[in-house]
């Protein structure tokens, strides 16, 4: 049962679709106090309790032993000691001595101290007094998840082709570069369904424009690619370039559709195109307006998008930059001592995503001026809802691929997410794995990380191992940052190994798609921690390197360099399956720990006793898959 408690006058986030009558706050289930305008509550854990949740967040599946902060952040360094990433998913669940879940519907900061200050204590501090609190009690974590997911509404299902392999990079700047990617994949005989257009396809980084010099006759080009079975997926950024004559900017300015400062002027911040207006996605007229702008691109045949920079990321504000430049000018010619120099340096380093700038932004919510600080965590989610809702209305559900960088619960009904700017680090294979069940708990089923890693240079073996996990993630996209080593499958020697991995994905698509749709229909998880299925198995309860997939499988990627395999724990007898291209090798294994050998061109998988999964023949495109021609393995 879900019990709702309402404190103060919460801002409506639209996280829930089911309505609940509020209970008496006197029955709030936790010890709590109000301290400096914050609502603080706590509960105890025993040594063996597990804490799940927080969706797309740092660290383990078990969130214990760290402090997290709900604050959508554009931070490309996902190191262990970070507390915030791009998304905010305020769902938490305790399992063990007691089993309960909670969702805090509050779009400003929340601090989650989960055994950080005191080993066996959870202290949650909400940065305000207006919020809805949902409390869910059940004996099993999976039942809590299902109840929560039912209440927040059905998860987005993308088009079938979005389960194909996707290639991205910042950027393929023009048609020639895109064609080369498609040709090279064809030459290497590796399947491919999508190629991404990062910011350089636009005219001067202006949303909903295409640079004619780089993509002459864009409509024809999109059509020609479609005929080759390739979908082009352009990026859309939150900031709209300030430029007279640019219609999107002028419409936004003239209709007061941009975020304001306290004095009623448009807030101005710099991003890729220079100074931008930031659409006020908290306002429903603005959402409708911005959503309908995607039409410029759907009209020419585009059927997929990724929304970026919507935390929102702001390199600098006009005001902040002015102040910094004045400061630098005032110091000109001075002999700077240490503190003056570092102060100057910090002034410039602190320009991006500054707390001061965020505090100076105002939204118009139903005619009321609301400071950005109070709604920061739903800005990006509302940008994506603007698009998703337009697509659903215009084309019907599931016709357009849409995923976002920033998100909040509720956006899962109209889009997926990707996990942002990870690194080409071995540790990020596991970070990717650990986020999957947590994101699923919060409704985000269509998700995945930048395979091969976004920042820095990737080695061949890293990309192969990353892809071997990506074979199972609904979004299977290889993406890499500007200035990094080429990371496409054809960029490394012996492309046959890459072909073997990507083909396995295509063979599994009928199974993965069915598992995905079922999870959406039944409010279920695609990926579960082993502890959900084997709650009294001590080893399974602590496992953070393997996941259950659907009702049939367990996955266990290799995540270290220079190893020919890994140890894997089987909580029951299973069949070990090695997939590579069209090759399938199976071996029965008994409950317990085993060392499995896995070559770079192999995808390891375990199938539970008595279960089978379907495999089709590989194909170069999802549209060419013969899903009627199936063999079963297990
Ligand atoms: O500040 O558009 O996460 O995927 O390639 C970088 C350029 C802006 C961040 C996205 C990344 C994308 C990049 N963007």
Distance 12 CA to ligand 1 centre (A): 30
**Closest-CA residue to 504 (of 626, 618, 587, 628):** 618
Q: Which of the listed residues 72, 170, 424, 480 should we mutate to test ligand 1's pocket, taking the one with most ligand atoms within 8 A of CB?
A: 170
Per DSSP (E only), the strands in 221-343 are 231-237, 240-241, 269-271, 274-277, 304-308, 316-317
Q: How much of the chain is helix, strand and coil, in % rounded to 5?
A: 30, 25, 45
Distance 353 CA to ligand 1 centre (A): 15
Distance 421 CA to ligand 1 centre (A): 7
Q: Is 25 helix (H, G, I), strand (E, B) or coil?
A: helix
Distance CA 467, CA 445 (A): 18
Question: What ligand 1 atom has the least distance to the C-alpha of 481?
Answer: 5
Q: Which of the listed residues 166, 233, 237, 309 should we mutate to test ligand 1's pocket, taking the one with most ligand atoms within 8 A of CB?
A: 309
What's the rounded mean pLDDT across residues 525-529? 98
Question: What ligand 1 atom has the least distance to the C-alpha of 170?
Answer: 5
Distance 505 CA to ligand 1 centre (A): 26
pLDDT, tens digit (0-9, with 9 covering 90-100), for 379-415: 999 999 999 999 999 999 999 999 999 999 999 999 9
Cβ 115 under 6 angstroms from ligand 1: no
Cβ 507 under 6 angstroms from ligand 1: no
Residue 545: the pLDDT is 98
Distance 382 CA to ligand 1 centre (A): 19
Residue 372: the pLDDT is 98
Distance CA 472, CA 519 (A): 14
Distance CA 494, CA 25 (A): 64
Cβ 421 under 6 angstroms from ligand 1: yes
Distance 454 CA to ligand 1 centre (A): 9
Residue 341: the pLDDT is 95
Write down how long the chain is. Answer: 634
Distance 400 CA to ligand 1 centre (A): 21
Residue 109: the pLDDT is 98
Residue 277: the pLDDT is 98
Q: pLDDT confidence of 535, banded at 50, 70, 90?
A: very high
Query: Is-contact 307 387, C-beta < 8 A?
Result: yes
pLDDT, tens digit (0-9, with 9 covering 90-100), for 214-251: 999 999 999 999 999 999 999 999 999 999 999 999 99
Question: What ligand 1 atom has the least distance to the C-alpha of 237?
Answer: 2
Residue 28: the pLDDT is 98
> What are the Cα distances from residue 22, in Å, to 6, 7, 8, 41, 113?
6, 10, 12, 19, 26
Contacts of 349 (CB under 8 A, 6+ apart): none
Q: If you average pLDDT over every residue of the chain, what do you get?
A: 98
What's the rounded mean pLDDT across residues 342-371? 97
Question: What ligand 1 atom has the least distance to the C-alpha of 450?
Answer: 4
Specify the residue with its C-alpha closest to ligand 1, atom 12. Answer: 170
Helix axes 247-254, 284-293, angle to 10 degrees: 170
**Closest-CA residue to 238 (of 476, 11, 413, 74):** 74
Cβ 198 under 6 angstroms from ligand 1: yes
Query: Is-contact 234 207, C-beta < 8 A?
Result: no
Specify the residue with its C-alpha closest to ligand 1, atom 6. Answer: 309
Distance 432 CA to ligand 1 centre (A): 18
Distance CA 4, CA 379 (A): 24
Distance 547 CA to ligand 1 centre (A): 29
pLDDT, tens digit (0-9, with 9 covering 90-100), for 605-632: 999 999 999 999 999 999 999 999 999 9
Distance CA 389, CA 257 (A): 18
Residue 332: Cβ within 10 Å count: 6
Cβ 169 under 6 angstroms from ligand 1: no
Residue 416: the pLDDT is 98
Question: What ligand 1 atom has the least distance to the C-alpha of 313?
Answer: 1
Contacts of 170 (CB under 8 A, 6+ apart): 198, 199, 200, 479, 480, 481, 482
What's the rounded mean pLDDT across residues 456-485? 99
Distance 482 CA to ligand 1 centre (A): 9
Q: Which of the listed residues 235, 407, 420, 449 should we mutate to test ligand 1's pocket, taking the one with most ligand atoms within 8 A of CB?
A: 235
Specify the residue with its C-alpha closest to ligand 1, atom 5. Answer: 170
Residue 249: the pLDDT is 98
Contacts of 62 (CB under 8 A, 6+ apart): 50, 51, 52, 542, 544
Distance CA 433, CA 555 (A): 10
**Closest-CA residue to 434 (of 567, 531, 308, 311):** 531
Distance CA 570, CA 577 (A): 13
């Amino acid at each position: 049962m879900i019990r709702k408690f309402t404190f103060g006058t919460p801002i409506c986030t639209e996280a829930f679709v089911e309505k609940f009558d509020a209970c008496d706050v006197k029955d709030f289930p936790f010890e709590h106090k109000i301290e400096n305008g914050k609502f603080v509550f706590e509960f105890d854990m025993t040594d063996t309790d597990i804490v799940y949740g927080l969706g797309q967040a740092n660290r383990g599946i078990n969130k214990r032993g760290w402090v997290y902060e709900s604050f959508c952040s554009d931070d490309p360094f996902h190191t262990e000691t970070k507390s915030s990433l791009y998304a905010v998913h305020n769902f938490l669940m305790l399992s063990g001595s007691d089993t309960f879940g909670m969702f805090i519907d509050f779009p400003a900061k929340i601090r989650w101290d989960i055994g950080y200050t005191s080993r066996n204590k959870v202290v949650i501090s909400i940065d305000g007094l207006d919020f809805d609190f949902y409390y869910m009690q059940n004996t099993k974590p999976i039942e809590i998840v299902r109840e929560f997911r039912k209440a927040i509404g059905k998860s987005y299902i993308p088009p079938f082709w979005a389960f194909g392999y996707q290639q991205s990079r910042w950027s393929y700047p023009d048609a020639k570069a895109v064609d080369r990617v498609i040709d090279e994949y064809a030459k290497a005989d590796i399947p491919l369904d999508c190629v991404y257009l990062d910011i350089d396809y636009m005219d001067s980084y202006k949303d909903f424009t295409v640079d004619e010099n780089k993509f002459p006759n864009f409509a024809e080009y999109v059509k020609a690619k479609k005929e080759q079975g390739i979908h082009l997926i352009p990026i859309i950024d939150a900031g709209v370039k300030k430029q007279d004559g640019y219609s999107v900017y002028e419409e936004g300015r003239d209709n007061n559709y941009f975020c304001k400062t306290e004095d009623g002027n448009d807030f101005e911040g710099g991003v890729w195109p220079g100074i931008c207006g930031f659409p006020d996605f908290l306002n429903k007229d603005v959402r409708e307006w911005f959503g309908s702008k995607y039409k410029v691109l759907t009209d020419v045949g585009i059927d997929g998008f990724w929304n970026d920079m919507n935390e929102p990321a702001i390199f600098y504000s006009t005001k902040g930059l002015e102040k910094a430049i004045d400061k630098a000018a005032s110091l000109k010619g001075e002999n700077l001592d240490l503190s003056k120099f570092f102060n100057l340096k910090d002034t410039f380093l602190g320009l991006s995503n500054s707390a001061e700038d965020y505090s100076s932004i105002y939204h118009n919510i139903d005619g009321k001026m609301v400071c950005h600080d109070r709604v920061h965590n739903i800005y990006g989610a509302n940008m994506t809802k603007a698009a998703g809702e337009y697509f659903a209305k215009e084309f019907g559900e599931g016709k357009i691929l849409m995923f976002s960088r920033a998100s909040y619960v509720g956006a899962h009904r109209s889009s997926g997410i990707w996990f942002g700017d990870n690194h080409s680090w071995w540790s990020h294979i596991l970070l990717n794995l650990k986020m999957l069940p947590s994101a699923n708990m919060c409704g985000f089923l269509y998700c995945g990380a930048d395979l091969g890693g976004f920042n820095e240079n990737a080695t061949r073996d890293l990309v192969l191992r990353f892809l071997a996990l990506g074979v199972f993630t609904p979004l299977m996209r290889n993406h890499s940052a500007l200035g990094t080593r080429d990371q496409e499958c054809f960029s490394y020697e012996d492309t046959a190994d890459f072909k073997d991995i990507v083909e396995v994905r295509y063979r599994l698509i009928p199974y993965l798609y069915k598992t995905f749709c079922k999870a959406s229909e039944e409010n279920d998880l695609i990926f579960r921690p082993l502890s959900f299925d084997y709650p009294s198995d001590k080893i399974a309860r602590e496992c953070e390197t393997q996941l259950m997939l659907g009702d049939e499988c367990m996955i266990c990627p290799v995540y270290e360099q220079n190893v020919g395999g890994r140890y894997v724990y089987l909580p029951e007898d299973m069949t070990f399956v090695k997939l590579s291209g069209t090759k399938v090798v199976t071996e029965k294994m008994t409950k317990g720990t085993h060392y499995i050998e896995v070559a770079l061109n192999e995808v390891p998988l375990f199938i539970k006793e008595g279960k089978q999964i379907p495999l089709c023949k590989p194909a170069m495109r999802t549209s060419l898959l013969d899903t009627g021609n199936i063999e079963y393995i297990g």
